Amino acid sequence: MDYQNEVKSAINGAKSKNFWRVEVFDSLPSTNDYLKKLAQEKSEGEVVVSRVQTRGRGRQNRVFSSLDGGLYVSLLLHPDTFPVNKITAMTAVSVRDAIEEVFGLDCDIKWVNDIFLGGKKVAGILAESSFLCESVKYVVLGIGVNVYTPKEGFPDELNDIARALSDVKVEKRGELLAKILDNIYAHYVEGVEYVSKYREKSYLVGKLVTVDLKSERVEGIVLAVDDDCKLVLNTLTGVRKLFSGEVIKVRL
């Protein structure tokens, strides 16, 4: 079964299939960029999936390696009532749980947007929002998962920090996507609670970390992830709660 048929067949079995409209490509520069161009004219629930990306990117516009073997998908949401500041956390739980459901693997969540397995990154999330005054017009939610190791292998610079869910080729990308969409629907539409899982599966609690806030760098021991999905740090100047930032260094 080719990639497009694999994905479409799996989506037809999703519980939430009527909420989503899925478009599947063999190759795109970036699923997020493609969907952002259409966001003004499309309604909530649009999903774009591509077998590979030629210009995939993560946070800070960093290159996101998008070889064949990964799941690369973007979703369009219009969060009128859902808290925008928790969309990434909700998605992280949805992806993490889908991986466990499909592969039986117990992953951790590295605040704020990465999924880790055995100390290495297996998935990342990129949420890009558009605002009108103080209201959210839309959120394009990008998800990239290293499902199986590509035949070319990972780039040398990623070997020590990234891995795949499987070392051998497994045709489970469609099944994984269906589970992710069902999980997001459950949290986003049906209101199923997710914050407790986001806290429970934190990769960082108890570790010494350095967080880049753009305007400064903060170092401290992670005490917890709070009810607002903020990172609670014990620093030399006291306890701080961080809403956003990038963890650039982790030490035991």
Helix locations, 67-149, DSSP H: 87-103
User: Nearest-CA neighbor of 127 among 95, 85, 98?
Assistant: 85
Residue 66's pLDDT band (cuts 50, 70, 90): confident
Average pLDDT over the chain reads: 93
What mean pLDDT do residues 86-111 have?
98
Q: pLDDT confidence of 30, banded at 50, 70, 90? A: very high
**Under DSSP, is residue 1 helix (H, G, I), strand (E, B) or coil?**
coil
**Per-residue pLDDT at 239 exceeds 60:** yes
- Between the CA of residue 51 and those of 16, 37, 63, what are the distances in Å? 22, 20, 17
Give yes or no for residue 10 having a pLDDT over 70.
yes
H helical segments located in 133-212: 173-188, 195-200
Q: For position 2, what pLDDT does the model report?
A: 86
Flag whether pLDDT at 133 surpasses 70.
no
Task: Determine the average pLDDT of the residues in 89-102.
Answer: 98
Q: What is the mean pLDDT of residues 179-198?
A: 98
Distance in angstroms between the alpha carbons of the first and the last residue of the chain = 44
Give the global pTM: 0.94
Q: How confident is the model at residue 135 (pLDDT cuts 50, 70, 90)?
A: confident
pLDDT tens-digit map of 140-175: 999 999 999 988 888 888 888 999 999 999 889 999
Q: How confident is the model at residue 60 (pLDDT cuts 50, 70, 90)?
A: low
Q: Is the pLDDT of residue 212 over 70?
A: yes
Dihedral of the CA atoms 145, 147, 150, 155 (nearest 10)?
Answer: 40
Q: Does residue 136 have a cis peptide bond before it, meaning omega lies within 30 degrees of 0?
A: no
**Which residue, among 204, 240, 244, has the nearest Cα to 222 in the 3D structure?**
204
Q: State the pairing for strand pair 114-117/108-110.
A: antiparallel
Per-residue pLDDT reduced to its tens digit, 69-84: 999 999 999 998 999 9
Checking if the pLDDT of 61 tops 70, the result is no
Domains of the chain, start order: 3-200 (3.30.930.10), 208-251 (2.30.30.100)
**Structure confidence at residue 57 as a pLDDT band (50, 70, 90):** low
Q: Which residue has the higher pLDDT, 129 or 62?
A: 129
